[in-house]
Amino acid sequence: MISHIEKKRQRLIEVQDELLRLEPELKQLQIKYDELKERKSSLRNAAYFLSNLKQLHQDYSDIQEKEPNVKETYDSSSLPALLFKARPLLGAENHLQNINYQLEKLLEQK
């Protein structure tokens, strides 16, 4: 009987040691799980956003096709759209400034 109790006690100690040894790994796995869960949620949100953006672009293209002569009007709420539309112009301006700078350097060398 005492031997049986001693075996149970020894097994309890072994299980406690194993639990102490595995706790840090469990915490790391929980942290990783939470990070992956958050990442999955972010990816879902991004996919939903892109889907909506694609639909908005399609709707806009359809309207432009149906009514090509209608002049677009913008207000302050359209600022992001204006910035998006102006981005290629700003890129072209920077490109022309770089070309102008290079030409000026060449002229100065002569």
Whether 49 and 56 have beta carbons less than 8 Å apart is answered as no
* CA distance between the termini of the chain: 107
Mean pLDDT of 62-67: 89
Q: How confident is the model at residue 84 (pLDDT cuts 50, 70, 90)?
A: confident
Maximum mean pLDDT: which of 22-26, 68-72, 96-100, 104-108: 22-26
pLDDT confidence of residue 36: 95
Calpha distance 20→18 (Å, rounded):
5
Calpha distance 58→50 (Å, rounded):
12
Q: What is the mean pLDDT of the chain?
A: 88
pLDDT confidence of residue 110: 67
